Structure 1
Amino acid sequence: MRVAIVGAGEVGKAIAANLAESHDVVVIDPNEAVIEELTYSLDVLTIRGDGTELGSLRDAEVDRADLVIACTDSDETNVVVCGATKTISDAFTIARVRRRTLLETWEGSQGAFGVDFMVCTDLLTAQTIFRICGLPAAQDVDMFAGGLVRMAEFVVDPDSPIADETIYEADRYDSLTFAALFRDDEMIVATGDTVIRPGDRVVVIGSPDSVTDFANDLTMADAEQLEEVVVVGASEIGYQAAREFEAHGYEPRLIEQDHDRAREVAESLPNTLVLESDATDAEFLAREHVDEADIVVAALDGDEKNLLVSLLARRLGVDRTVAVIENLQYAELFETVGIDVAVNPREETAEEIVRFTRAEHTEKIAMLEHDRAEVIEFEVDEDSHLVGGPIVDVTSDLPNGVVIGAISRGGERITPRGTTVIEPGDHVVVFVDAAVLDDILEEI
């Protein structure tokens, strides 16, 4: 597949790095230093130019592209890039935007602006925050097969019931598959003999109820008892996160220092208590009983501010903190100093876009541990390597690093076992080590 990427910011770089080995990639960006860096770091063609200009698009031979991804930092620029592309190419176009209102406008008239698919970074991030907040100890959560299947990654505490158990001993859930463990810098594909150690991050795939039960057992908590939610910062992500909580029946509190912005979001969020104050004021946090919150979401404009707010919340005694980070390099630092989950908007966006470059029938992907592994949902056709016998047989010659996590057939979920037979038309959710991803995509 020939892919043209317009904009080599963090999102563009992440997508280019993910696709460079398996696709013909060209990147357009006006910044000479960025172009030079990409030229030496990735096996991609680079064009210094303006993606809104037909000359730059022609230089990149966009007329031969299968997919054009517009992911500059400007919503308007990305829309124009897609429109310009359509004048010289039949390529499928994707525009990355930040404003939800622009997404809603496009959804109301799909196909408008020359955009075939639109990704809203802030909305995706808010939805991710909501999913993660609903499960104790979860580092990542995603839904597959129209909500029939949930994937989640959890940290195993020393006092967890499954700590020091084998996968065989911990496998006491009817609709749950243990996919893998991340231990420091090592990834371990789960087998019955694999021992779960304290500090491991364990990835499970199964029914939403089973994953919730597993989360509750893992932490000896109740995922359904999330009541007090505090969102710090009425940035667009903070606002969208509060809106997500409202939409699911919660009544969050939102702290915003700017008077005009606080009033604006208060009028838009009828079930959210908006507090106008500086969230780094420890006395204010104590006075407003923020220590009683089940979770604090730091969504200010600035990684350092989000780190400070999260640390203050932990110091007050908040059980769980989630922080938005723009610089992905800070993710490990945040988690090392005690922030439970760091969510990166650019990573969420790249995850949503990359699925369009996967196998023809790929429905959804989730990247884990900064793209060290992926969970992929795809529709099986009659030519797939997975069709033709029990799972234990058809997967025996696949590379190590593949676990079939769940199957959806005709709207019904099937928990895969060795004797399960996959049929054409099934939707299969698979965990794949990134090191063997290209080989697996060729087989499935």
Structure 2
Amino acid sequence: MRVIIVGAGQVGSSIAESLDDDHEVVVIDTDDSRVESLTYSLDVLAIEGDGTSLATLREADVGAADLFIASTDDDETNIVTCATAKTASDAFTIARVRSTNYLQTWEESGGAFGVDFMVSTNLLAAETITRIIGLPAAQNVDVFAEGSVLLAEFCIPTNSPIAGQTVAEADDQFNELTVAAVLHEDGLIVPDGETKLATGDEIVVIGSAESTRAFAADLATDRDENRDVVIIGGSEIAVQTAELLEDRGLQPRLIENDPDRARELAERLPQTTVMSSDATDREFLTREHVGDADVAIAALGSDEKNLLASLLADRVGVDRTIAVVESGEYTDLFEAVGVDAAINPRDATAEEIIRFTLDGRMENVAIIDHDRAEVLEIQIDDDSALAGRPITDATDDLPARVTIGAITRDGEFITPRGDTVVEVGDHVVVFVETEAVDAVASRL
């Protein structure tokens, strides 16, 4: 597949890095330093130029492109770029936007602007945040098999009931759940049944929605369902999160320092209590009992402010903190200093776009721990190494160790264990280290 990516920022570079091994990738950017960096770091053709220019797109041979991705940090530029590409190509076009206004216009018009698919960074981030809120202690949550399968990342807290147990013992307590991986700073472990879980381990679990929620509740027995939610900031991500929480029947509180913006949001969010104040004013936080909240979400539009607000919310007693992090390199730092979950909107966007480059049998993908691993949802056909075989026998023949995390068959969830036989037509959710994805996927 020939893929042209306009914009070599974090999203564009992440997509290019994920695709350069198996696809013919061209990246266009106006920043010569980014172009030079990609030229030496990835197996791509990097071109310095303006993606809205037809001459630049012709230089990139846009007429031969199969997929065209506009991923700069400017919504209008991305839309115009896709429209320009359509004048000289039949490529499938994808535009990344922040504003949901463009997304709504595109959806209501049945496709507009010369864009075949539009993805909203703000909305994806808000959806990620609301999924995490729904699972106590979760650091990240992804959805597979149309919502019947959840993938979640947790850090095992002190005094957790599963600390000291083996993976087999933990799995046996939850009929529809599999511990897929244990993450450490110095490496990633694809566990077997005898792998022991310890306090502080970061783990990835895959299971039915019901079992994953039960596991989350058992993992953090001191945390109830998150009903009292405080949102710090009036950014679009904050507003989208509030609207999604209202749709779930919650009544969040939102703190916005600008009085005019606060009044605007109070009219837009009928089930949200909007307060105009400085979220770093400890006296205000105490007076409004912010410390009694189950979770605080920092979405102020600045990484530094989000970190400060999260740490202050934790200090006044909030059970759980979630922060939006625009710079991907800060994600680990935020969690290391005490933020419970750090959400990078660009990571979620890259995942959503990469789906369109997958093999026809692959229906979804999640990127784990800054692309150290991936989780794939694959529909099994006659040529698959898994078809008609018990999982233990089939996975032994694969070129790398994998974890089969879930199987759905005719809409029914099936817990994968060693003697489970995979059938043609099954939808299988597979955890695999990124370096082995291509070799494994070709056999599945």
Alignment TM-score, normalising by the size of structure 1: 0.97
1:378 is displaced (CA, Å) by: 2.1
Contact 2:400/2:440, CA 8 A, preserved across alignment: no
The answer for the alignment partner of 1:360 in structure 2 is 360
One-letter amino acid of the counterpart of residue 161, structure 1: P
Q: Secondary structure at the match of 2:406?
A: strand
Gaps in structure 2 of 5+ consecutive residues: none
Contact 2:49/2:56, CA 8 A, preserved across alignment: yes
- With 148-157 and 389-398 compared, the bigger mean Cα shift is at 389-398
The answer for the alignment partner of 1:285 in structure 2 is 285
The separation in 2 between residues aligned to 1:395 and 1:65, in whole angstroms, is 36
Is residue 2:208 matched to residue 1:207?
A: yes
The separation in 2 between residues aligned to 1:208 and 1:181, in whole angstroms, is 20
Contact 2:164/2:197, CA 8 A, preserved across alignment: yes
The answer for the alignment partner of 2:229 in structure 1 is 229
One-letter amino acid of the counterpart of residue 29, structure 1: D
Contact 2:388/2:424, CA 8 A, preserved across alignment: no
Question: Could you give the per-residue CA deviations for residues 287-344 of structure 1, whole angstroms, max 9, x where no partner exists?
Answer: 1110000000000010000011011111111111000011111111111111111101
- With 304-313 and 82-91 compared, the bigger mean Cα shift is at 82-91
The separation in 2 between residues aligned to 1:304 and 1:310, in whole angstroms, is 10
The answer for the alignment partner of 1:166 in structure 2 is 166
1:142 is displaced (CA, Å) by: 1.2
Contact 1:355/1:363, CA 8 A, preserved across alignment: yes
1:432 is displaced (CA, Å) by: 1.2
1:48 is displaced (CA, Å) by: 0.9
The separation in 2 between residues aligned to 1:308 and 1:147, in whole angstroms, is 34
The answer for the alignment partner of 2:182 in structure 1 is 181
The answer for the alignment partner of 2:18 in structure 1 is 18
The separation in 2 between residues aligned to 1:424 and 1:333, in whole angstroms, is 44
| Structure-to-structure mapping, 1:27-426, within 5 angstroms | 27-171=27-171, 172-221=173-222, 223=224, 225-426=225-426
Q: Secondary structure at the match of 2:4?
A: strand
1:410 is displaced (CA, Å) by: 1.4
Q: Secondary structure at the match of 1:90?
A: coil
Q: Secondary structure at the match of 1:114?
A: coil
Q: Secondary structure at the match of 1:12?
A: helix
The separation in 2 between residues aligned to 1:67 and 1:34, in whole angstroms, is 21
Question: Could you give the per-residue CA deviations for residues 242-301 of structure 1, whole angstroms, max 9, x where no partner exists?
Answer: 111111110000000111211111111100000001111111111111000000000001
Segments of 4+ moved more than 4 angstroms: none
1:392 is displaced (CA, Å) by: 2.0
The answer for the alignment partner of 2:431 in structure 1 is 431
1:21 is displaced (CA, Å) by: 2.1
1:134 is displaced (CA, Å) by: 1.6
Gaps in structure 1 of 5+ consecutive residues: none
Contact 1:110/1:116, CA 8 A, preserved across alignment: no
Question: Could you give the per-residue CA deviations for residues 343-385 of structure 1, whole angstroms, max 9, x where no partner exists?
Answer: 0111111111112112222221111111111111122222222
The separation in 2 between residues aligned to 1:381 and 1:276, in whole angstroms, is 57
The separation in 2 between residues aligned to 1:364 and 1:358, in whole angstroms, is 8
The separation in 1 between residues aligned to 2:201 and 2:188, in whole angstroms, is 10
The separation in 2 between residues aligned to 1:275 and 1:93, in whole angstroms, is 41
**RMSD of the alignment, in Å?**
1.2
- With 413-422 and 294-303 compared, the bigger mean Cα shift is at 413-422
Contact 1:378/1:427, CA 8 A, preserved across alignment: yes
The separation in 2 between residues aligned to 1:303 and 1:195, in whole angstroms, is 36
Q: Secondary structure at the match of 1:101?
A: helix
Q: Secondary structure at the match of 2:113?
A: helix
One-letter amino acid of the counterpart of residue 330, structure 2: Y
Contact 1:67/1:91, CA 8 A, preserved across alignment: yes
Contact 1:136/1:221, CA 8 A, preserved across alignment: no
The separation in 2 between residues aligned to 1:175 and 1:443, in whole angstroms, is 25
The separation in 2 between residues aligned to 1:122 and 1:185, in whole angstroms, is 32
1:406 is displaced (CA, Å) by: 0.9
The separation in 1 between residues aligned to 2:336 and 2:206, in whole angstroms, is 26
Identical pairs, percent: 58
- Equivalent residues, number: 443
